Amino acid sequence: MKQISLNFPAKTKTCTIHIGKRIFERIGTLFDFHKYSKTFVITDQNIEPLFLKRIMKSLPIPNAFIVMVPGEKEKNIESVSKIWTAMHEAQCDRKSLVINIGGGVVCDMGGFAASTYMRGVDFIHIPTTLLAQVDASIGGKTGIDFSGVKNLIGTFNQPVGVIIDTQTLATLPKREFLSGFAEIIKHGLIKSEEYFELVTAKHPSKFTQSEMIDIVAKSIEIKTAIVQSDETESNVRKLLNFGHTIGHAIEALGLESSTPLLHGEAISIGMLVEARISHLANLLSISDLEKIEEALTTAELPVSSTGINIDKVLKKIKSDKKNEKGKVNLTLLRGIGDALYNQNVPEITIINALRKA
């Protein structure tokens, strides 16, 4: 089992991350649960039959739980209100611990509910999807979608712990597993060409369990190093937004249709569009652009969106929370493993890149 510790002196908080396989039954030994009055578990209908009983059985203190409807469309204030109500009815107090078991939606929404209940209680993430293991559970971003904008409402608040059991990956549908690889590839693109080459060397399904533990750990190390130097996204943490300005817009529009994209699928398209913008802005070579497209295609991730409405994408981009003073702030690539944040380009450059999407 691997263990990573994140320290955030500004808030005197430490987050301990445990990564391994078959560690659910040992959860009670990984943290000091006895300092809490009770645990309140948040999960969804997909996860409940797979892991809920096993995990609750291993908790050494009284607990209560709520099972939510799964899906990004449920990541809203109404769902959070249900969680707050259930916590109140379970008599959760300021010494209660929230445990979020599930994918990115559960981690984002459960973290937000915990961050705001009684002005904030501690929480632990137990991410069960690859995407949540390398992204949503790490870094302390919590939030919900609002007014058609992804994660418009939220907080920066670190979990006190993250428990990652890579055996949960065996329960994922192929599409969900591949979606998670988009964020893994992103970590290589923004910070390490060597890591990019490693994770794109073969199809994601060809990596062994042991290799996946190492990949998840390395992705977490890349992300946590960035987050520890800039917890609230004032500067360098913006590197992690590569692919997300365009990707979030495409994802949000997809949620309004009958065929929504998974988060990682939308980010894959967003990364290629933003790589294309990087090339049009004379930052990224054509050979690196082609290498990125080939890597995403080999991983069976989408690189284009049928019938994309450029006007609607531009409208969504302009409401992106990363913008400042009316300017669209992009993270672009100067090369594989070399990213730049706070990049502004003419709107026509974005349009020309989207036309090829």
Catalytic entry in 34, 119, 206, 325: 119
Is residue 141 part of the annotated active site? The answer reads yes
Is residue 34 part of the annotated active site? The answer reads no
Q: Closest by alpha carbon to 335, among 279, 294, 267?
A: 279
Q: Any residues with CB less than 8 A from the CB of 277 and at least 6 apart, and which?
A: 330, 332, 345, 349, 350, 353
Distance CA 186, CA 171 (A): 24
Is residue 279 part of the annotated active site? The answer reads no
Catalytic entry in 72, 74, 176, 183: 183
Catalytic entry in 125, 244, 276, 316: 244
User: Quick one: tokens of 48?
Assistant: 């409940």
Is residue 291 part of the annotated active site? The answer reads no
Catalytic entry in 223, 238, 279, 316: 223
CA distances from 94 to 108, 141, 159, 164 (A): 20, 21, 15, 26
Is residue 274 part of the annotated active site? The answer reads no
Phi, psi of 136 (to 5 degrees): -60, -35
Tell me which residue has tokens 């702030």: 329
Distance CA 240, CA 222 (A): 10
Is residue 263 part of the annotated active site? The answer reads yes
Is residue 244 part of the annotated active site? The answer reads yes
Catalytic entry in 75, 237, 238, 276: 237
Supply angle C-alpha 87, 153, 331, rounded to 5.
135
Catalytic entry in 75, 150, 186, 248: 248
Is residue 76 part of the annotated active site? The answer reads no
CA distances from 39 to 17, 28, 70, 255, 357 (A): 19, 12, 21, 33, 46
Is residue 223 part of the annotated active site? The answer reads yes
> Which active-site residues does the annotation give?
119, 141, 183, 223, 233, 237, 241, 244, 248, 263
